[in-house]
Structure 1
Amino acid sequence: MRRPALTFRWAALSALLIMPLPALAKDSPSSPPTPPAAAPGVKQANPLGGQPGTSGPQALEPGQAIRVRLNGRETRTFRISPAAGSDYTIITRNLSNGTDTVLYLLGDRGQRIGSDDDGGDEPLSSRMEVTSADRGTAVRVGTFGGGGEFEILLTRDTPRGRPDFATTLDAARTMPALAVDAPRRVRLLRREQAFFALPEDTRDFVALTRNLRRGTDTVLALVNAQGRVLAEDDDGGDEPLASRLDFARGQGPLFLRASVFSGTGGEFEVLLQAEAPSPPPSYATTLIDAAGRPPLEIGQTVRIELRRRQAAYFALPGGDMDLRALTRNLSNGADTVISLVDGNGQVVMSDDDGGEEDLSSQLDIPAPRRQVFLQVTLLGPRPGSFDLTLQQAEPAAAPNFATSPDDARAQPPLPAGEARRIRLERGQSAYFVLPPSDQPRTILTRNLRRGTDTVLELLDAHGQMIDQDDDGGEGLASRLAVPAGGQGLVIRAGVFGDGSGEFELILN
């Protein structure tokens, strides 16, 4: 899922969060640094944290940026000027290189009301929206990882007023249903959610968020009358942080819940669209249906259009020939996955990136096949279309390599500087004896067929592994250092996970 947590930053934030509240109500002691000259129009923070001529914190006035410099785990507190009004936004900006800020909103007793460490316009800056409901009186600013220099700025916001949408499920029951094809602008405050009743209709729907205010990260959920989440999506929209939820209208009242990830505030549009009914597909979409249909024929091409979370299933023909299933002619953004599944839907083997197109798939299916089916799905949040073709696999050519260490010792050593093209079937490995040398050498794989992920193992004369590498060189290629003076060394070249693949092997 998106939004990977940064371990160091969260560890530092956790350390700050567990500090006693009285300690947080005071600025951390440190020797006041020599402040640099502020930019024109930017005030310089009082190093002692107080308003010049007073003993209290310096005031944060609307529209007046203050340049702050912090050392180590030092923090600085600013009181909110009455001129800020009831609704305002506090940001950090113009951060010096590597500075990572965090903001804490404080109440009248120094208690922490909220915090933000990554909502600003710059990668490591902060942004905090405050409303009259927060009752904030001061803001504390700190940094992660050793201090830094930045500006802190407060800007006044227009109070939102009473929202024209429900903020609870109970309130949504008494409001009109969300209209189809009528976008609703939603502005959510911190920890707030929007609820919309869905129309009583038997059609399939798509709910999505769009036109997100910068930094807003939405989450959509379909809930029933008891508030149980039936489906949820937080990253399926056309915009990077938007959401998309496809669902069929069911029995009983249903509601759409819109929120912002991590409970922060944000602004966006919610749009409900009715999907046009589509004709029944010419292929099975369940295993039970596939079991009652004729098998997919060799040489047959089927055009498949899948909705999100939908799958196509096909029975396979009998016989003792090996087969190959592949997808091609993918619609824009479609990313296919071909799997072989048993009668219970358990995956036997799978491939999602072995085709000739970037996001296509290719799966080699060995004979014999008993009670297995072909399953084709889409990877990712979007629907898509593509062609599925079943072919008879070409007979495997006699390998140009040994398939065991003993066989390798009966063959000439691998010549240095000569690239050997190797094609491995599923579960197969190639073995080569390495010629002795008084100089260290390198053996590597290169020119991999798309999706091939190689593994190299260096074996001693007794077949014991000396070294291994599966991710050196280019992308999924491998590289191993061969020590000088080795006698009877053998290299094993395979494919990660005992899959199939094709590549070049060369000893330098």
Structure 2
Amino acid sequence: AEADDEAVDETEAAPEGDEPEASEGSQVIETGTISYGQLVEGTLEGNTHTYTFSGASSDIVTISLESDDFNPFVELLDANGESLAFDNESGPGLDALISIQMLPADGTYTIVVSSLVSGESGDYELYLALGDMQASLDMGDTVTGTLDENVHFYFYNGEQNEVITISLTSDDFDTYLELYDSDATMIVSNDDGGEGLNSQIDGYSLPNTGSYAIVVRGYGVRVSGDYTLALGEAVPETGDMAVPEAMDEPADDAEPEAMDEPAGDDEVPPDEPEVAPEGALSESEDSTLRYGDSVSGSLDSGTARYSFTGTAGDVVSISLESGEFDTYLELLAANGQRVARDDDSGTGLNAAIIAFELPSSGEYTIIARGVGGAATGDYTLTLVEGTTLFDAPLPDGDDTGDDAIGDDPETDQPVENQPISYGDTVIDFMAGNSDTYVFSGTAGDTVTISMESADLDSYLELLDADGNTLIYDDDGERGLSAQITAYELPASGDYTIVATTYNNEGSGDYRLRLSTIVVENQPLAYGDEALGMLRDNVHLYSFSGTAGNVVTISLTSNDFDTYLVLKDTSDNWLTDDDDGGDGLNAQIAQYELPTSGQYTVIVRGFEGAASGDYSLTVVLDEAGTGDEPGDENIIPAEGGPISYGQTVTGNLAESTHSYTFSGTAGDVISVGLNSDDFDTYLELLDNTGERLTVDDDGGLGYNSYLAAYILPYSGEYTIIVRGYGGTATGSYTLALVIPAMVDDNLTYGSIVNGTMTDAVHLFQFMASEGDTVTISLESDDFDTYLELLDPGGVLFTADDDGGDGLNSLIDGVRLPAAGTYTIIVRGYEGAATGDYTLSLSQ
């Protein structure tokens, strides 16, 4: 098949016709095609997409599914609809990656694109690559090659117990190495075991005599550049079992088919689980477990394996505890595929796989080991059925007693003002209630609070001594976990943590952590470089800026995946970045400071606290105007005047356009900018040319939509039309709408039937702090969209398709403060036309 490097929108591949609507209990499935080397962009709306491609017997394919909006899940089916492989988060972050899979026959294959949590929505990128077979290697060989957004394979015939070292270096991309045995089981992998971002599998002892496949790729699949691969001998230390660090290892939930060099239609042997090293269990226990068992053992530079029989749909929890090493758990299905893994979801450095639902009936294998691979020390392994984390009291007094782990939802009692201290981790159970914890803090303490759960959409609030809400968070950590990161306490005294759920519903276990971080109170000046070292914590820096300054903040490290957060003078979050720099380095590029004063930069790892050396710089962009990257002193071409209710079209030619309109103080306006040719960007300026507000992707896809902005004065305003990177080329449509205030006094229980004609409607209601509200918007005429603004006019939450079909539902959200809230009723793409029904309930 020919490779097609062009990105295509998923809607071009989907069947022609109107956008389908999901009936209750059904799932919309859109089907398209994809070819080797092709990148497909699409949008899930609570549904599933499928793509087909033609493959040949022994083709080795790689499939990646990336999204910033939902936790992706990808599956590969054969021509008969049988599952060949699936994956959740083996790629960077939460992205899904089927690293390698050999196709068993000629024919048509199907890729299923969905979210791990049913009903999630958002944009995604799907990429299909054909692996490129390279030469066979001999011991001592060094070869060079070039990746072109694909994966390379090398073969080596090795002897049992032969100790090898494989190194992969590149100046062009973050390398990643994998080694597969003759049964296509990945037996070892490495990300950054070499210098910098280079990979090295060092001193690995081959378990069997036979053919091995060395997989050369980037940490993400779509990377290109030159590399050097070297295969050499190594002498192992006594008892050494070289296994890469678990944090670097992207779990392949789907092991590929046999990786022997293709030989026509030879039968592919089935996957087999990896074999534990001899003597892994120095203190032998029965290796067969039953639900409710708890066993003790001892590792001596090895790993331990236990098996149990489960039934599809069983929900199991597994804990591995040790006071002598950092524990790590893996769970394998009967075919050797890893279906779950964990590092630190238990207390401290203990591992816990919490409330995992078994996908099929059969025998499962638990691998108990250390984070670095093999480990030494005593441990306790517990297997239970249900959402219970542990049947016995937690170690070190972490059990809450009154609210024991795994309590019955009908008898569960809320935790009320339980004391908690810096460094404490509490594991507990809740059932549709809120638990509160109290700690004493000192003015200036910088605290991080995290709440993680496999069962709940967690929600955190921090209250001061008078019960006022200081800060709250819903999904500030990974997935649906909440985290309040690096919050500076304003005064000395008692503080209350409210641990609850986003919709005040559901029951299950959760883990709450409270920590204080080491703060580098070193002020930064423009142009300075700060060199520091994280030790499983977070660092803060401050600098003085002036309104309109355009700054670039860069954070680099060879030791961890960096993450940057910028907060304003009032400790409000402004922006953040993960990989905006080279490789896994973070960079907030050309950001315009909105006010004058002290700004705070938070230095941390992608998953929170991290360890390793880093370099931080804050640079003032002398030439920039404060626009997004690529925009330097652009003089907009006049687009002309525009009026309320007017829609205009235009065409940019490496330029920007400006439109002016007259407004009255208090007018609530909405502006939509759509284009099929470029990533749109909107700016609203006052009559002095100062920027009031901006929007990038508030509309559909990469289109901009500025919703419900209140004009601060009467007079002239300017709308700037441009691309995200500055100037752009292509046609666009610009619409200026003044939303109608249909009813400014909704009450709980209100139901409104309304009609819009290319418009946006606003509603307001009064609420008390802590009210839990549900807002529903339904229409048979357009794809609805709901937004809720807090009393300060700031977007608090929004929803597209949380209801049935294309209807919107903000379900059981807890309001953080008393005051007047605003509901914005509109279509998914902005202004809409048609009938609708809006309801508000408590």
Which TM-score band (shorter chain)?
0.3 to 0.5
Point out the structure with the larger helix share: 1
* TM-score (structure 1 length as normaliser): 0.39
* Greater radius of gyration (CA): 1
The structure richer in strand per residue is 2
Give the number of the structure with larger relative contact order, counting CA–CA contacts within 8 Å between residues 6 or more apart: 1
